């Protein structure tokens, strides 16, 4: 857990939920929210002040397994990143190659960054996919990198998904579509290895020079980059801090 999570209770209907901070209370990440309870929804909207949810699941996932029950005023958007398919064999681990393929060829990845920046400019935001590790991990890593977060913070945040994965896998196995994915993909896809996120970061540096070089190449707007930096850089910014919450 991050220091920002010290007073953050777990959700009953979702796993791998955490505050990405510092700075705390702005960007949250999670596994799928489709099974959150009404108490969870009240916690998100009330105590944590969540104003928006960015769902990275495919259209099949988001329509087949429904949107979460959210407070009426909560903004919601589905920007489907490509489903996980094994890319051609090559050096590095499987997930690292998948992340690199998204970075180079997924047209919705820059759209997700633009939309996340807009959401964050209005208030605390959750980004999620199915497990909250891969598609969410890429978007969060890019957002943090564009905001100026150091490399070790990005890796540390990614690795925090590791302890949650047994619970995530157990929950997803109850759903036919995800159970089918688990049966056809290597077990390593549901593991959390530093080599995977490091391969993404190394690819950004090798092929684009920097996070900002990738953003320019992918078409992420300068306005979005500035908004991510304003929202996610530690220090005073006039944004509310999270309250101590109880269950």
For residue 45, pLDDT beyond 60: yes
The stretch 157-186 carries a mean pLDDT of 92
pLDDT value of residue 62: 84
Two tokens at 136? 């969410």
Report the Cα 37 to chain-centroid distance in Å.
20
pLDDT of residue 40: 95
pLDDT in the model for residue 246: 46
Instruction: Note the pLDDT of residue 235.
Output: 64
32-60 mean pLDDT: 94
Percent of the chain residues past pLDDT 70, beyond the cut = 89
Mean pLDDT of the chain: 89
Q: Provide mean pLDDT across the span 6-27.
A: 90
Instruction: Give pTM, 2 decimals.
Output: 0.92
Judge whether residue 26 has pLDDT over 90.
yes
CA atoms of 138 and 113, how far apart (whole Å): 10
- Model pLDDT, residue 87: 58
Q: What is the pLDDT of residue 83?
A: 61
Report helix, strand or coil for 125: strand
Query: Could you give the CA distance from residue 205 to residue 18 in angstroms, rounded to a whole number?
Result: 27
Query: Which CATH number fits the domain 3-231, given the four candidates 3.90.190.10, 2.60.60.20, 3.30.430.20, 3.40.50.360?
Result: 3.90.190.10
pLDDT at 242 over 60: no
Cα torsion at 235, 149, 49, 129 (round to 10°)?
180
The predicted pLDDT at position 5 comes to 66
- Residue 88 neighbours by CB distance under 10 Å: 6
Q: What is the pLDDT of residue 3?
A: 57
Residue 69 pLDDT level (bands cut at 50, 70, 90)? confident
Task: Give the max Cα distance, the chain.
Answer: 48
Spans of all domains in the chain = 3-231
Instruction: Round to whole Å and give the CA distance between 226 and 73.
Output: 25
> What's the confidence (pLDDT) of residue 6?
55
H or E segment and range at residue 223: helix 222-232
d(CA 59, CA 88): 24
pLDDT, residue 7, reads 65
Q: How far is CA 71 from CA 45, 94, 134, in A?
A: 6, 38, 26
SS3 state of residue 206:
helix
Nearest 10 degrees: Cα torsion 40, 137, 65, 17: -20
For the chain, give percent helix, strand, coil, nearest 5.
50, 5, 40
Q: Is the predicted pLDDT of residue 12 greater than 60, yes or no?
A: yes
pLDDT value of residue 61: 87
Measured distance CA(38)–CA(187) in Å, rounded: 33
Region of residue 32 (left: phi > 0; alpha: psi -120 to 50; beta: else): beta
- Determine the pLDDT at residue 247: 46
Query: Tell me, what's the pLDDT at 92?
Result: 73
| Alpha-carbon separation of residue 112 from 50, 129, 167 (angstroms) | 18, 12, 26
Does residue 235 have a cis peptide bond before it, meaning omega lies within 30 degrees of 0? no
190-215 pLDDT, tens digit per residue, is: 999 999 999 999 999 999 999 999 99
């Amino acid at each position: 857990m991050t220091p920002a999570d010290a007073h953050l209770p777990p959700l009953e209907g979702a796993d791998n939920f955490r505050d990405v901070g510092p700075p705390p209370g702005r960007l949250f990440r999670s596994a799928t929210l489709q099974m959150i309870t009404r108490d969870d929804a009240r916690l998100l909207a009330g105590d944590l002040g969540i104003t928006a949810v960015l769902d990275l699941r495919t259209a099949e996932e988001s329509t087949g397994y429904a949107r979460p029950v959210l407070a009426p005023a909560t903004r919601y958007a589905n920007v489907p990143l490509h489903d996980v398919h094994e890319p051609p064999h090559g050096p590095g681990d499987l997930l690292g190659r998948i992340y690199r393929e998204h970075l180079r060829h997924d047209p919705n990845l820059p759209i997700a960054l633009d939309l996340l920046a807009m959401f964050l400019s209005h208030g605390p935001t959750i980004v999620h996919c199915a497990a909250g590790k891969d598609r969410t991990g890429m978007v969060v890593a890019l957002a943090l990198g564009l905001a100026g977060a150091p490399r070790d913070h990005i890796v540390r945040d990614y690795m925090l998904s590791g302890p949650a994965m047994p619970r995530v896998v157990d929950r997803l196995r109850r759903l036919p579509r995800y159970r089918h994915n688990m049966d056809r993909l290597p077990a390593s896809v549901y593991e959390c290895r530093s080599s995977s996120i490091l391969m993404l970061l190394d690819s950004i540096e090798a092929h684009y020079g920097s996070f900002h070089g990738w953003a320019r190449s992918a078409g992420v707007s300068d306005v979005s980059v500035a908004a991510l930096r304003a929202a996610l850089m530690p220090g005073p910014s006039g944004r509310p801090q999270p309250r101590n919450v109880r269950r």
